[in-house]
């Protein structure tokens, strides 16, 4: 196993990102860079490379477990992924998604789930989806000392209600509801809100109207920050090509080439050579 892969720094060198840091970045108009992470090795690399926020997203259900939707992932699975990520992070704020079924029942159920996340993972905040219907829950969690990130627009846990992954809030009634939901989440105490797959003009308007950071995904350039699923950015999810993803690498091709070479070297007995043997 290789253990020498990323630059190392000691915890003492590093100033941690907090919810307060994000508020300051918003005030200074410094865009916030957030990415998803699900495991120790990747989290270490993403953190050392400068991501401000690592989201242990329930998209783990898709990219790690191969499910079609985010619905099957459980609270125990999310806790496992978050524990792995937290062990790899020195600087970034770690936000953990509350999965489908872990908070919708009641604010009491949500608090129980969020307390498990905070106690068992060492994560710094939780994220949950929805507007008006989660306000009581947000208040209860924040009132208990747990920072909460909201999530509006395309909320994948409601995919069977929407019936499609198309852009949300194009119609005025839904856009208006989203504006009101954002203000309610802010008032209830959220420290930031993810805006997913909504028109850029609406995301810009919401960002202007509230005093907490907005983090966009498919929401244009005028939000306080951006988030992408890391596997999309790295070109590991080959059959997923939405317009809002920019691919910064083609790791599927790189990995395929490396593995093909390894297989060929094993077959030809080129690997291992004398220097790689004892």
Both tokens assigned to 142: 């924040």
- Residue 236 near ligand KIV by CB under 6 A: no
Q: Which range of residues in 22-30, 55-63, 112-120, 270-278 is near ligand KIV by CB under 6 A?
A: 55-63
Name the segment binding ligand KIV (CB under 6 A); options: 54-62, 78-86, 108-116, 266-274.
54-62
> Nearest to residue 103, comparing CAs of 124, 125, 81, 127?
127
DSSP string computed for 101-134:
TSSSS-HHHHHHHHHHHHHHH--SEEE--BSGGG
- Taking the least distance from each CB to ligand KIV, the nearer of 38 and 135 is 38
Q: How far is the CB of 179 from ligand KIV (least distance, A)?
A: 20
Strands in 37-190 per DSSP E: 53-56, 93-97, 125-127, 148-153
The CB-of-75 to ligand KIV minimum distance in angstroms stands at 14
Does 219 engage in binding with ligand KIV (CB under 6 A)? Answer: no
Question: Any residues with CB less than 8 A from the CB of 144 and at least 6 apart, and which?
Answer: 111, 114, 115
CA angle 215, 216, 222 (to 5 degrees): 95
Q: Which residues of 49-80 are buried (b: 16+ CB within 10 A; e: fewer)?
A: eebbbbbbbbbbbbbbeeeeebbebebebbbb
- Based on CB atoms, which residue is closest to ligand KIV, 4 or 240? 240
Q: Is 245 helix (H, G, I), strand (E, B) or coil?
A: coil
Window 91 to 150, contacts with ligand KIV (CB under 6 A)? 97
Catalytic residue among 196, 253, 274, 276: 196
Task: Verify binding: residue 58, ligand KIV, rule CB under 6 A.
Answer: yes
CB of 229 to ligand KIV, least distance (A): 5
Rounded CA separation 229/195 (Å): 14
Q: Are strands 225-228 and 192-196 parallel, antiparallel or unpaired?
A: unpaired
CB of 52 to ligand KIV, least distance (A): 14
C-beta of 58 vs 186, nearer to ligand KIV:
58
x/- string (CB under 6 A) for ligand KIV, residues 6-35? ------------------------------
Does 59 contact ligand KIV by CB under 6 A? Answer: yes
Active site residue 196: yes
Is residue 42 involved in binding ligand KIV (CB under 6 A)? Answer: no
14 or 220, CB closer to ligand KIV?
220
The answer to whether residue 224 forms part of the interface with ligand KIV (CB under 6 A) is no
Q: Any contact of residue 232 with ligand KIV (CB under 6 A)?
A: no
Q: What share of the chain is helix, strand, coil (3-state, %, to 5)?
A: 45, 15, 40
Q: Per CB under 6 A, does 53 bind ligand KIV?
A: no
Torsion of CA 57, 77, 239, 69, to 10 degrees: -80
Contact positions vs ligand KIV (CB under 6 A): 36, 55, 57-59, 97, 194, 196, 217, 227, 229
Q: Annotated active-site positions, please?
A: 196
């Amino acid at each position: 196993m290789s253990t020498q892969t990323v630059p190392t720094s000691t915890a003492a060198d590093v100033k941690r990102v907090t919810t307060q840091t994000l508020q300051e970045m918003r005030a200074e108009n410094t865009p916030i860079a957030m990415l998803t992470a699900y495991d120790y090795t990747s989290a270490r690399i993403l953190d050392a490379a400068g991501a401000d926020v690592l989201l242990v997203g329930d998209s783990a259900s898709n990219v790690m477990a191969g499910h079609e939707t985010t619905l099957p992932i459980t609270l125990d699975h999310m806790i496992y992924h978050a524990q792995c990520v937290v062990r790899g992070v020195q600087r970034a704020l770690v936000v953990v998604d509350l999965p489908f079924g872990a908070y919708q029942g009641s604010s009491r159920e949500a608090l129980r789930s969020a307390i498990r996340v905070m106690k068992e993972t060492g994560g710094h905040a939780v994220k949950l989806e929805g507007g008006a219907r989660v306000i009581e829950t947000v208040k209860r969690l924040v009132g208990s000392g747990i920072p909460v990130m909201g999530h509006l627009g395309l909320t994948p846990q409601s995919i069977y209600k929407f019936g499609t992954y198309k852009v949300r809030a194009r119609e005025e009634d839904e856009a208006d509801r989203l504006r009101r939901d954002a203000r309610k989440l802010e008032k209830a105490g959220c420290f930031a809100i993810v805006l997913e797959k909504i028109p850029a003009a609406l995301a810009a308007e919401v960002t202007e109207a509230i005093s907490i950071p907005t983090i966009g995904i498919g929401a244009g350039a005028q939000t306080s920050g951006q988030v992408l699923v890391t596997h999309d950015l790295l070109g590991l999810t080959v059959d997923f090509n939405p317009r809002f993803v920019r691919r910064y690498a083609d790791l599927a091709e790189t990995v395929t080439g490396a593995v093909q070479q390894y297989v060929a070297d094993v077959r030809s007995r080129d690997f291992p050579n004398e220097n790689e043997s004892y």
